[in-house]
Amino acid sequence: MTGPDNINGISRRERKKKSDLFVCPLGGMGEIGKNLTVFGYGEDYIVIDCGLKFPEEDMLGIDFVIPDATFLVENKSKIRGIFITHGHEDHIGALPFILPRLDVPVYCSRLAGGLIENKMLDANTGYHPDFRYVEACDKVSAGCFEVEFIQMCHSIPDAFALVVHTPAGAIVHSGDFKFDPTPIDGNRADYSALARLGDEGVLLLMSDSTNVERPGSTPSEKMIGQTFERLFRLYKDRRIVVATFSSNLNRTRMIFATAARFNRKVLLVGRSMVANVELALRLGTLDVPEGQMISAQEAEELPDNRVVILTTGSQGEPFSGLVMMSRGTHRQVKLGSKDLVIISATPIPGNEKLVSQTVNRLFACGAEVIYERDEKIHVSGHASRDELMLMLSLTRPRFFVPCHGEYRHLVRHAQLAREMGVNAKNIFILQNGDILKFSGSSKAEVAGHAPADAVLIDGFVLGEFEGSILRERREMAENGVVVVSVVLNGDMRPAAPVQIQTRGSVYSSEDGSTLRELESAVLAALAQFSRSPGARRETLPTEIRKRIREKLDMNPRCYPTIIPLVTYI
């Protein structure tokens, strides 16, 4: 259970004297998304994944959330590389914001590299990553570590589990996985490699916990193909619109194949859908017969029963193709009673309301909508309980850390590991930022904490840590804004009438009596300020805010944000 005898010319005994091994997740613990884990030994650090998380419902105006990179930036001279398990956004989406600050190599498949490059172009970073492309069974040396790539099954091709061979022993990071016996691309999980690692000895297993509450095994992706066959046959006279994740290339492959069998052409809608399909075609990951993809103009000239529209928007994203169709604002596609819409995805936690609103609007357009789980139009890419037991059985780890799941998932997975024979003292339910330190291969403990706040992204602007910005937005959303503009001359007297504007407040700018009261309050504040000897200019906005608040306190349940703007001429 101690790993190879020699890594990069350093003997096992010498390595043991050198330092302690630590593991520190900066995201992905107690949440779905934002996956990022740091491994360190002495002066060598590596990072596995660097993903984003979609915002929760109360994160007003926030596009997505990424991990806090403070710990990485402070130690960037020690980072030997970032290793990517697969190309989904919850594993690569934070790279445009974090990678340029670290400037380290990225080890990934060609598909994941292409998806990362697209993200970099979207963010307009101007940064060109140093990609080091890998394939299944490859091994990469990174400082005192050796990282091995193991083929796994997921909802995207080229998904890997990573084995980090360290001076203290081997760590298996499962990535997102399921044990699909009939994968669409034919690449099954490498059971023999996992069993070999179990025989050699695994110090720590970090395993995907998303579906731990689901009994049995996750159905094969091929089951969805049978559902598509049935729906295409049943609705043979309708135009068919399919919404799915743009990165779910295995599902995309299936839709193209089904469309071809029913003599239908495919129109791609959504920038990320077009970009990802073009990338997959370029890399040979996706094989589409010549002429099957058509333009919007060509789609208009074909009968409805000859067209399939493959679009983004399965999560109700406000500016996605499906949502714009449901609102009637899409420039190319107008939905009606001759359309069937298939939403081939389940809502990410927090997106349920957006998806429900989209479905309601689609019905209002007159379209038939299929979205229920019992229609078997989506299967998960994550392992269910029996598969998680198989992973534990194959690897037989000494220590176990459940990851990639909400807190209840981590707890359930920890309970499952105990049932599978892992010593309860060797199971750790970590929180983001916890530093799990190993003393040799026999003892581990949480020994410290790294900064691991959530960083908010609005558009492609790196925002603040979760807290102040959301608090301000909630206050404005609940009570509105009152803006006061004052122009003063050199004698600190008004040089122009006081201007007051409100937005989203119960105090309307058209309410003359209220505005006159507020104006009187501002003038009183100015008079008080001019009579106060030694008063400093920077205190005037506070005085104006105080006087207006006194007037508004007549309605104790309304606390609009008050913004004084003072100009001196």
State whether residue 373 is helix, strand or coil: helix
Which 3 state secondary structure label does DSSP give 510?
Answer: coil
Q: SS3 for 362?
A: helix
SS3 of 61, please?
Answer: coil
pLDDT at residue 351, as a whole number: 78
CATH class of 222-375: alpha beta
Residues that constitute the known binding site for Zn(2+):
86, 88, 90-91, 154, 176, 404
Binding-site residues from annotation for Ca(2+): 61, 63, 458
**List of E strands, 101-216:** 106-108, 131-133, 139-142, 145-152, 159-166, 169-173, 202-208
Closest CA to 281 of 289, 87, 259: 289
Tell me the C-alpha distance between 160 and 28, whole Å: 17
Fold of 19-216+380-465: Metallo-beta-lactamase; Chain A (3.60.15)
Surface-to-core class of residue 70, CB atoms within 10 Å of its CB (0-12 exposed, 13-18 middle, 19+ buried): middle
CB 383, CB 391: distance < 8 Å = yes
Report pLDDT for 13: 45
Mapped onto helix, strand or coil, the DSSP state of residue 486 is strand
Decide: 532 and 453 in contact? Cβ < 8 Å: no
Is residue 361 within 8 A of residue 165, CB to CB? The reply is no
Token pair for 547: 């006087």
Q: What is the pLDDT of residue 480?
A: 79
- Binding-site members for substrate are 246-248, 378-382
Q: Is 208 a catalytic residue?
A: yes
Q: What is the pLDDT of residue 124?
A: 81
pLDDT along the chain (569 residues), means of 10: 44 53 96 95 97 72 84 96 96 95 97 94 88 97 97 94 97 96 90 97 97 95 90 95 92 94 95 93 90 93 95 89 94 94 86 90 95 80 97 98 96 98 97 94 92 77 51 65 83 80 65 75 80 74 82 65 83
DSSP E strand stretches across 334-442: 339-343, 368-370, 397-403, 405-406, 434-439
Dist CA 236 CA 247 (whole Å):
27
Asked if the 480-568 domain carries CATH number 3.10.20.580, the reply is: yes
What is the predicted pLDDT for the residue at 503? 75
Q: Which of 165, 173, 330, 382 is catalytic?
A: 382
Is 382 noted as a catalytic residue in this protein? yes
Of 44, 208, 339, 434, the catalytic one is 208
H or E stretch at 272: helix 271-283
Q: What residue segments make up the domains of the chain, in order of their start?
A: 19-216+380-465, 222-375, 480-568
pLDDT computed for residue 518 by the predictor: 81
- Provide the Cα torsion 273, 278, 283, 287; round to 10°: 90
CA atoms of 436 and 388, how far apart (whole Å): 22
